[in-house]
Structure 1
Amino acid sequence: MFWIHSLNKFQEALHKCSSLESLVLTSSEGHPKLTDSKSEDTSCNINSFSIKENPGKPLIDMIFSSCTFPSLNELQIERMREYNLTYQWPSGAFISLISRSSCVITTFSIRGISISASDLIAALHVMPSLLSLEVEDGEWHYNCPVNQHQSPINSVFITRLAHRAQSSAILVPKLHSLHLLSYRMTSDADCGFDLSFIDMVESRWFRPGSDLFAAMSTVGRGCIRSVEMKFARRNIDPVIYKPLRVLDEEGLRVVVSGMDTVVI
């Protein structure tokens, strides 16, 4: 684990550890220093990369803009402390990193980062080989107007994950594992989200041994195997999620929990 104060120090560490395969970066308190260097740094062996970001000038932006990881297949991005209301997800820089690296991402985790549903969808478009996806929208302070913050875990994102779109538009077609944790408070639209979520899961489940399972496998579409949906700050109606119990009995691992209850 490296404590990073400047991009130059990070690049120096990569050069000294050329055989490094797994990297965790934790930025210290304060503002990582931007450099005048326009060079890009390449690490051919790193396959697992985790960025744990503290408040300040985002280290994330600098890494996305300056590095190339051709062997990368696991990427975790996490905000370690209080939510930064002014942070803007660098969508273009992230897409450039993945495209420039020509890497095959199979595991992607993003926690506590301010990212819109549209930006998350754009990011997932450049990771078609994704097998495992984890999204947590951030535990904001209780004295903040939580519902005013953007959260990627909404009906727009859930609907785009459904498999009923045209083949050219399907998002993460090979997805096996999905973990979502939302701190969004209760609103009038919750029922609509719940129904969209159920529809999405049903569209991605193909009963093992069925003709549909075989057909989807031949065209490169994976069957969802594990789903977790946790609501940290709202209760849910167990009756609404009853359809997913059927899938659980067929072999899909499903966990759905509200603030006080676990319904599946």
Structure 2
Amino acid sequence: MAHQLGQDLDIFKHANGLCFLSLTVLSDIPTTVWKEMTSLIVSNTGNVVNHPSPSGINELVLRECSDPRYFNLSSRVPPRSCTNISTLKLELHENKSSINALVDAVFSSFTFPSLSCLVVMTDDHCPYHEAWPKATLGSFLHRSSCVLTKFEVKRISVTDIDLIAALSLVPSLVNLFVDDTPCGDDPISPITPQFVRSLHGLLRTELNPSSSALVPKLSELQLRFNGLEFDDSGFINMVSSRWLPDTQYAAGAGLSCLSIVTLRFNARTANQVVYRPLDCLDKAGMMVVVLGTDD
């Protein structure tokens, strides 16, 4: 089957400008096909940790497979370094027959020193109950020593404590997107009052007792909240604390100016009277979008 796939892909060997490829199975692919390839999507990822990484690929999307025939992941020892990968997107799917979850296998098997964008997510309608990979993610980031600037966590059950711990490892972060849309029967949302307060530019909290602000370079924040009880005043205070248009003052505070904020409520309205203080920031130059179910 692998050989046949390679033969089938031979038809692309003279396809100049081919830069994107989506495969069901990662197999032996002709070198000529990789020539100009920059983006690769693999759905059945059973052998991905042991497959050679093409040198031109800078975006890697791995989709966890629900078919147990392809779900036989094991970690690679020692981890393999891929210096070309700058974007990694993991689309997770629960499978009780798996040896290792995709996220753990990938974080344990690779080192991506050039990684700048990391996305961890599940499908809209796919229940997922696996534990957040706190240890393997921490080891992966430490080992890679990458300058991560964009981090997206979508529809993953993770506690506020674990998400804050992950953010503390990436002070280079510029863009953060968290979507707590339920992904199982008993979802855990990281978007709690404690999480919101931990992002405050000046105040320190129990979950972020460090003398430095969490993600000090943050300039774009996107939150998609699925619950009903939200710390509106805490959010407004946090956003206001990071509006630092005076570059000298910002440098002295060790912070970048938060310039784009998007808050989307999936299950409640957005009280425009409550959020009126952010209108002033919007008029001053910050792009602020707060939307509810009636918007």
TM-score (norm: length of structure 2): 0.77
Question: Which one of the candidate residues 62, 82, 86 is aligned to 1:47?
Answer: 86
- Residue 27 of structure 1 pairs with residue 27 of structure 2: no
Rounded Cα–Cα distance in structure 1 between residues aligned with 2:260 and 2:160: 22
Deviation at 1:27, TM superposition (A): 2.1
Deviation at 1:216, TM superposition (A): 1.4
Deviations 1:148-176 (A, max 9, x none): 53101111110000011367231000100
Deviation at 1:120, TM superposition (A): 0.4
Deviation at 1:19, TM superposition (A): 3.0
Rounded Cα–Cα distance in structure 2 between residues aligned with 1:84 and 1:93: 22
Matches within 5 A, 1:60-79: 60-79=103-122
Matches within 5 A, 1:179-190: 179-184=222-227, 186-187=228-229, 190=230
- Residue 9 of structure 1 pairs with residue 48 of structure 2: yes
Deviation at 1:92, TM superposition (A): 1.1
Matches within 5 A, 1:1-264: 1-6=41-46, 8-14=47-53, 17-31=54-68, 32-35=71-74, 37-56=76-95, 57=98, 58-82=101-125, 84=127, 86-140=129-183, 149-165=187-203, 168-184=211-227, 186-187=228-229, 190=230, 193-206=231-244, 208=245, 210=246, 213-218=247-252, 220-261=254-295
Q: Which runs of 5+ in 2 are unaligned?
A: 1-40, 205-209
How many residues align? The count is 244
C-alpha RMSD of the superposition? 2.0
Secondary structure of the 2:141 match is helix
TM-score (norm: length of structure 1): 0.86
More helix by share: 1
8 Å Cα contact 1:83-1:138 kept in structure 2: no
Secondary structure of the 2:73 match is coil
Larger radius of gyration: 2
Rounded Cα–Cα distance in structure 2 between residues aligned with 1:78 and 1:139: 12
Runs of 4+ residues over 4 Å off in structure 1: none
Greater RCO (CA < 8 Å, at least 6 residues apart): 1
Please tell me the residue identity of whatever aligns with 1:2: V
Identity of aligned residues (%): 34
Q: Which moved more, 1:119-128 or 1:21-30?
A: 21-30
